Amino acid sequence: MESFSSKSLALQAEKKLLSKMAGRSVAHLFIDETSSEVLDELYRVSKEYTHSRPQAQRVIKDLVKVAVKVAVLHRSGCFGPGELALAARFRQKLRQGAMTALSFGEVDFTFEAAVLAGLLTECRDVLLELVAQHLTPKSHGRIRHVFDHFSDPGLLTALYGPDFTQHRDKICDGLRKLLDEGKL
């Protein structure tokens, strides 16, 4: 018997279409203003740290693609009970990472790259487990790319150093707002 599902086909088409359109204008359709400002600031940090505009664009584009695809999967009800528990764990870890980043930004001499990098690595692993049955290996590679980039101890050390104070403050302001609004 042929197994055909229009819902599955529509979901595949939606993910494919969205992955092709993951630019700034599309990001603003799916991502709220505060999140967009944080992403823009993360782009600036990446660009300054790597001295490579294309590399910074690629990591943010990958982040947007992954965020949109996970949102589509969640909205479409594709996650089972076990996966919903993983999604809750991912959200909790991401929230913990944001609060840790804020704490490091607000309290002088408390920054430890290994702590933040560890939290980001845990987020990556939980997210990979969550989407293992739903996204392609190429999307898994995007997830690794994004989390490995932002959990780089060198980048984190630079972000919490004196040269990136303005960027860090804007990121922290955005994270604080997202936490206060319950969006993170």
pLDDT (tens, 9 = 90+) of the chain, 184 residues, equals 445 555 565 666 666 666 655 555 555 556 778 888 898 899 999 999 999 999 999 999 899 888 888 888 888 888 999 999 999 999 999 999 999 999 998 887 788 999 999 999 999 999 999 999 999 999 999 999 999 999 999 999 999 999 999 999 999 999 999 999 888 7
CA distance 116 to 158: 13
Question: What does DSSP assign to residue 114?
Answer: H
Residues 6+ apart with CB under 8 A from 91: 184
Task: Give me the phi and psi of 109, to 5 degrees please.
Answer: 65, 25
Record the pTM: 0.83
Residues 6+ apart with CB under 8 A from 158: 45, 49, 164
Residue ranges of domains in the chain, CATH in brackets: 33-181 (1.20.1440.160)
CA distance 64 to 26: 9
